[in-house]
Amino acid sequence: MTGSGTEAVVAPEGGTVRELLRAGPSAVDLGAIDPRSTPGLPAAAGSGRGRKAWARGQVELLGAALGRQQEMLYAAASGVAGPGAPAGAPTAADPGLGRGRPGRVLLVLQAMDCGGKDGTIKRVAGAMNPLGLHIRSFGPPTEQERRHHFLWRVRRAVPPPGYVGIFNRSHYEDVLIARVESLVPEATWRARYDEINAFERKLTAGGVTLLKVMLHISHAEQGARLLERLTDPTKHWKYQPSDLDSRARWDDYQAAYAEALSRCGADAAPWYVVPADRKWYRDWAVAHLLRETFDDLDLGYPPADFDVAAERRRLCGG
């Protein structure tokens, strides 16, 4: 994934971004991770404000490469479900986790309010083909969802084979907000760690490559972003008075995140903590995390299942 001259994608320094940003496997201390730090950022980025423009240029280059790899993933699954249907589209009865099905990638994004989930999706996933994207947001459960197991709505949102799925919030809300706001008894949310681990083992065994990312912002940065939403009329729609209620429980949420990252960080489904006070670094890091994940899949375009020469003769009238 290189170009020429200034158009080349520059590799991170000090290791891969996955190596540098992986949480665990020991207990996670979010207080030890500086939300304004830039692990892996190469010297080629320069210094000062120039780094922002450089990083955004790199994200554009990475986005083009991610788009090609996403197309390969989608092409490998083409035709699985037959004409007229999304490739291997999951249903409530069959979420598409059978062994031997084409692979899929699922990016799970978690963050405190104003952490940048929407911005990350816009800048990083925006370079991909919407045809092969499966984006789902998880807000407070509906009345119907509350009647089911907490993973019911998540299973239904698993991306079909060949797709890149993105969860804007996820099943982890059920050990975060449910814990901090005492929505369920402690015994209930504590049992969910094992249930989540079992669910994710089933996902990975069924061909889902999981990329779980926490966008880690500081208390001060969150305050600045909330104030911006209150100051700019075009951003009022992003603000909820409940945001300040959650902000008042900052330390409780940090503790809940730390335990979730520590308890649910298996090698097959690790967590990555991305320092997210600097939006340009956040996007650069997540783009590299996706690139490194795709590279491990060793993707390529599938061979034709028809006689190419014969079809060329038919087309050309030979």
Enumerate residues 6+ apart whose C-beta is below 8 A from 219: 247, 250
The pLDDT score that the predictor gives to residue 6 is 52
Residue given tokens 């197991």 in the structure block: 149
3-class DSSP state for residue 143?
helix
Position with higher pLDDT, 77 vs 234: 234
Mean predicted confidence (pLDDT) in 223-247: 95
Residue given tokens 């982890």 in the structure block: 172
pTM of the model: 0.90
pLDDT one-digit tens code per residue, 263-275: 999 999 999 999 9
Cβ-count burial of 42 within 10 angstroms (0-12 exposed, 13-18 middle, 19+ buried)?
middle
Mean predicted confidence (pLDDT) in 113-119: 95
Lowest mean pLDDT among 25-34, 36-45, 277-286: 25-34
Are the CB atoms for 68 and 164 separated by under 8 Å?
A: no
The pLDDT score that the predictor gives to residue 102 is 62
pLDDT band at 26 (very low <50, low <70, confident <90, very high): confident
Q: Is the pLDDT of residue 94 over 60?
A: no
Cα–Cα distance, 21 to 275 (Å, whole number): 9
Percent of the chain with pLDDT over 90: 81
pLDDT one-digit tens code per residue, 306-315: 999 999 999 9
Q: Is the pLDDT of residue 131 over 90?
A: no
**DSSP H helices in the chain:** 17-21, 50-76, 117-124, 143-146, 152-155, 177-180, 186-205, 219-231, 242-247, 250-263, 279-297, 308-316
What is the number of other CB atoms lying within 10 angstroms of the CB of residue 93? 5
Lowest mean pLDDT among 127-141, 163-177, 229-243: 127-141
Cα–Cα distance, 114 to 222 (Å, whole number): 6
pLDDT band at 41 (very low <50, low <70, confident <90, very high): very high
The pLDDT score that the predictor gives to residue 16 is 97
Q: Is the pLDDT of residue 80 over 60?
A: no
Q: Is the pLDDT of residue 119 over 50?
A: yes
Cα–Cα distance, 130 to 70 (Å, whole number): 10
- At residue 137, φ and ψ (nearest 5 deg) are -110, 145
Q: Is the pLDDT of residue 98 over 80?
A: no
Q: What angle do CA 144, 149, 152 make, to 5 degrees?
A: 75
pLDDT one-digit tens code per residue, 67-76: 999 999 999 8
The pLDDT score that the predictor gives to residue 89 is 42
